[in-house]
Amino acid sequence: MGLSINVALIGNPNTGKTSVFNLLTGLKQKVGNYPGITVEKKEGDFRLDRTTKAHIIDLPGTYSLNASSMDESVVIELLLNKNDRDYPDVAVVVTDIENLKRNLLLFTQIKDLEIPSILVINMSDQMQRKGIQLDTAALEEALGTKVVLMSCRENKGVEELKKALINYRKLSTKPILDVASIDPAYFESLKTTFPNQSLFKLWLVITQDVNFANLDRQRVADTSNFRTQSNTNLKRLQQTETIKRYQIINDILKKTYTIDRTRGTDLRAKLDRVLIHKVWGYVVFFLVLLTIFQVIYDWSSVPMDFIDESFARLSEFVKSNLLPGMFTKLIAEGVIPGLGGILIFIPQIAFLFLFISILEETGYMSRVVFLMDRSLRRYGLSGKSVIPLISGTACAIPAVMATRNIENWKERLITILVTPFITCSARLPVYLILISLVIPNARIFGMNYQGLTLMGLYLLGVVMALISAMILKRFIKSNYKSYFVVEMPNYKWPLLKNVTLTVFEKTKSFVIEAGKIIFAISILLWVMASFGPGENFDQAETIVAQQYIDKQIAAEDLQYEIDAFRLENSYIGILGKVIEPAIAPLGYDWKIGIALIASFAAREVFVGTLATIYSVGSTEEETIKSRMASEQWADGRKVFNFASGISLMLFYAFAMQCMSTLAIVRKETNSWRWPLIQLFGMTGIAYISSLIAFQLLQ
């Protein structure tokens, strides 16, 4: 067996930490949550040499070990807990060549924990263009560490970093700051009480209790007697620590680092004057969104049609080539249509994640956050709310988790409650199939009607989120005043590897998570649609044949009537008929009602549910879209017409059709009160909006 070491990847936000992680691990990475908390955990494995393997964990971005959010507290708790299985043998602190002074504050704190630490200076390919000169050898000597210059864009520095990791035991663990110099009397007393403990670790335990009271007391020394000082005095000592560290950093950088501030800033300044302008900034953002939604429709139509037709042919192939029986029907009418109902949307979902990833990689997303802060304040939100709201376009669950960065509880709670209004990727399959059915595929001024409708639905979700936030602001009281600070990263070309990995991981996660739910629900629905109580179901063929005994009817049409009658009298048909009176005023039949109930597990199940229901008894090679388009009421009217289509889209735009989101809101608010308010409030808004829309448009 070879040697395995734990590596912690640590750094400020926007230093390229994720790029380093992707460069080292490639596809050998996984994403989960830290045990007991909903903070994302990224980890992966890579080989250093033939005998040594490294397990690397990408910790949440933090500016220092004086944490102010739950994400940052994760970093503190891991670095203080030697009994944690992920406790690092060596820390890799990633810094940005242009912001080295600020980044080194975190590095000095990590090193003072006496953890072997390697300093990675990223984006080194920018040094010449930015007029930066760095004496690496002198910097290594001053910091007592190994310095690795990296350029993820040019794939430089990887081998040097791996060599440094192999030799991590040779790294000095001597602290950079004498922490006792902050307050000699206080720290002398602390040292006397805990003679065998690291002073800096004890200091972090004391100060982090002020912020969180969340560290595991069984893992660290009991320092309760040293928390008798006021919070104000402890904060003053923290500020003193920060000042002393910057004094050391300034002295080091004066000898090792020079930068010509006049170079390379003109383009950034010119772009910022437009992109964060109080008028043009919003215009550009609107045009970016418009372009994205147009491209999503235009580029993905060919692969979508191919997937749709392939599943229809596969279903027909199974029916024709397997032995007749219940198992064949289950596969052909349950599993295949159900999976086809989600896989058909992979192209559009992948394109959506592609564009979001590009916006983040280029640095534009931070400008959007800054721009929107001006507008969100009046609604009881802050600029930090933009990150969860934008994350909500992928999934509401991680978006709700992302609110942990918002210190103000009122702003955080409002953000949690309104985030599900933002159109997530799970709604996308519902929107796409309905838009293709009821909105003409035509253009105006070169823009596709269907793309405009999709963008309108996204904007509608944003508008409803803001209106709801404004209402909640009046009812949720708080006297806490918060301030918004965001870092503007430099503009840069997106790294192809980062974008590719993001699209792959996000799309794979969507397909796997949705696929598990759809697979289970498809089988359940098929069973409920294939069996039923009483004579009406068992004698369906005889009963229907008797009704048409005196009428001329083709064999295919008779079989269709038999299948329809059997479906109506199945278990699923009976359930649908029970709820039909409540949803009929919205323009929905009992089959749509079943899909509404099933999709509470996950919104994207809606299409798969209808695909499964319509496939039961079907003998023709039809696509999902064609089955839905041909569905009719008893009087010959199409079920999916303009009025019912708009009504359904509005229902899914506003309804809380996701039990997983409710569960995470319960966890984040530690109460059932808020998720229940969310569930009934959003469902009420959805029902009323859909009712008004259908009654006006029919």
Encoded tokens for 513 = 């998570």
Q: Which of 481, 286, 309, 493 is nearest to 371 (CA)?
A: 286
Phi-psi region of 654 (alpha: psi -120 to 50; beta: other; left: phi over 0): alpha
Does the pLDDT of residue 31 top 80, yes or no?
A: no
pLDDT digits (tens, 9 = 90+) for 650-692: 998 998 867 777 777 887 787 888 888 998 999 999 999 999 9
Q: Token match 């794979």: residue? A: 508
pLDDT tens, residue by residue, 511-554: 776 566 666 766 777 787 778 887 888 888 888 788 777 777 77
pLDDT value of residue 352: 72
Q: What is the pTM of this model?
A: 0.60
How do residues 426-475 score in pLDDT, each as one tens digit?
Answer: 787 788 888 888 888 888 777 788 888 888 888 898 889 889 988 888 88
Confidence of residue 7 (pLDDT cuts 50, 70, 90): very high
pLDDT interval class at 230 (50, 70, 90) = low
Give the pLDDT mean for 292-310: 76
Which letter does DSSP use for residue 168 in this model?
A: G
The residues near 36 (Cβ < 8 Å, ≥ 6 apart) are none
Percent of the chain residues topping a pLDDT of 90? 14
CB 342 within 8 A of CB 612: no
In this prediction, residue 579 has a pLDDT band, given cuts at 50, 70 and 90, of confident
Say how far apart CA 499 and CA 358 lie, in whole Å: 7
Report the 3 state secondary structure along 389-436.
HHHCCCCHHHHHHHHHHCCCHHHHHHHHHHHHHCCCCCHHHHHHHHHH
Residue 125 has pLDDT above 60, yes or no: yes
Lowest-pLDDT range of 19-33, 251-265, 519-533: 19-33
Using pLDDT thresholds of 50, 70 and 90, give the confidence band for residue 94. Answer: very high
- Predicted local confidence at residue 532, as pLDDT: 84
Domain formed by 3-259, architecture: 3-Layer(aba) Sandwich (3.40)
What pLDDT is attached to residue 219?
44
Provide the 8-state DSSP code for 222: -
Q: Which of the four pLDDT bands, split at 50, 70 and 90, describes residue 220? A: very low
What is the C-alpha to C-alpha distance for residues 270 and 631, in angstroms, rounded to an integer? 55
Task: Give me 50's structure tokens.
Answer: 């033939």
Direct distance between the N- and C-terminal alpha carbons of the chain, in angstroms, rounded to an integer: 71
Phi, psi torsion values for 8, nearest 5 degrees: -100, 125
Going 261 to 284 to 380 to 660, the CA torsion angle's sign is negative
Mean pLDDT (the chain) is 79
Strand, helix or coil for residue 219 = coil
Residue 178 DSSP SS3: coil
- AA identity, residue 13: P
Candidate ranges 5-19, 61-75, 367-381; pick with highest mean pLDDT: 5-19
Q: Could you tell me which residue, 83 or 684, shows the higher pLDDT? A: 684
pLDDT above 50 for 37: no
Q: How would residue 696 be classed by pLDDT, with cut points 50, 70 and 90?
A: very high
Pull the structure tokens for residue 592: 């749509």
Q: Regarding predicted confidence, which is higher, 393 or 143?
A: 143
pLDDT at residue 211 is higher than 70:
no
The closest of 125, 181, 180 to 155, measured between CA atoms, is 125
Task: Name which of 101-110, 395-404, 570-579, 682-691 the model is least confident about.
Answer: 395-404
Which residue would you say has higher pLDDT here, 132 or 693?
Answer: 693
Residues 6+ apart with CB under 8 A from 318: 328, 331, 332, 336
Contact 303, 394 (CB under 8 A): no
Would you place residue 622 in the very low, low, confident or very high pLDDT band (cuts 50, 70, 90)? low
pLDDT at residue 216 greater than cutoff 50: no
**Rounded distance between C-alpha atoms, residue 109 and residue 95, angstroms:** 14
Q: What is the pLDDT of residue 190?
A: 82
Residue 328 scores a pLDDT above 90: no
* pLDDT of res. 412: 83
Q: Could you tell me which residues are beta bridge partners of residue 32? A: 41
Question: Which of 12-16, 190-194, 226-230, 248-252 is predicted least confidently?
Answer: 226-230
Q: What percent of the chain has pLDDT over 70?
A: 82
